């Protein structure tokens, strides 16, 4: 009885903290999802214009996007320019569109057919 444990055991607990890794999280400017940085593609504003930064190491203001066309298309409509605090020139826009063409197509593309006002009857000559 009366087993008062001395405080000698505390030193053990401290060392386990080292294993916890901090994963940087970023927001996709297309769909606003927050994900680990490694799952996103970085875009950076450089003096030459907005560029894709595959290695994520270029200096400058950056924004992140999924490797999904739908997110790029959405971002190009405004959110990307807002995030980078810059106006996208037609050249930059074209370059980014060319890049997104290399991305895999997603199964669900909400932007491909949003028009419900299609009337096939008007096609008749
Ligand atoms: Zn996204």
pLDDT digits (tens, 9 = 90+) for 88-97: 999 999 999 9
Give the number of other Cβ atoms within 10 Å of residue 50's Cβ.
Answer: 24
CA of 1 to the centre of ligand 1 (A): 61
CA of 83 to the centre of ligand 1 (A): 14
Give the number of other Cβ atoms within 10 Å of residue 15's Cβ.
Answer: 8
pTM: 0.67
CA of 71 to the centre of ligand 1 (A): 5
State the virtual CA torsion across 92, 97, 100, 101 in degrees, nearest 10: -140
In the chain, the domains with their CATH numbers are 24-105 (3.30.1230.10)
CA of 66 to the centre of ligand 1 (A): 4
pLDDT digits (tens, 9 = 90+) for 50-96: 999 999 999 999 999 999 999 999 999 999 999 999 999 999 999 99
CA of 116 to the centre of ligand 1 (A): 24
């Amino acid at each position: 009885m009366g087993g008062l444990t001395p405080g000698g055991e505390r030193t053990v607990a401290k060392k386990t903290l080292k294993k916890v890794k901090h994963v940087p999280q970023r927001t996709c400017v297309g769909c606003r999802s927050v994900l680990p940085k490694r799952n996103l593609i970085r875009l950076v504003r450089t003096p030459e214009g907005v560029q894709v930064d595959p290695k994520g190491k270029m200096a400058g203001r950056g924004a992140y996007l999924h490797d999904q066309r739908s997110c790029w298309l959405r971002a190009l409509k405004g959110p990307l320019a807002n995030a980078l605090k810059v106006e996208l020139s037609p050249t930059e826009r074209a370059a980014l569109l060319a890049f997104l063409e290399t991305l895999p197509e997603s199964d669900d593309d909400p932007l491909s057919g949003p028009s419900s006002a299609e009337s096939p009857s008007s096609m008749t000559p």
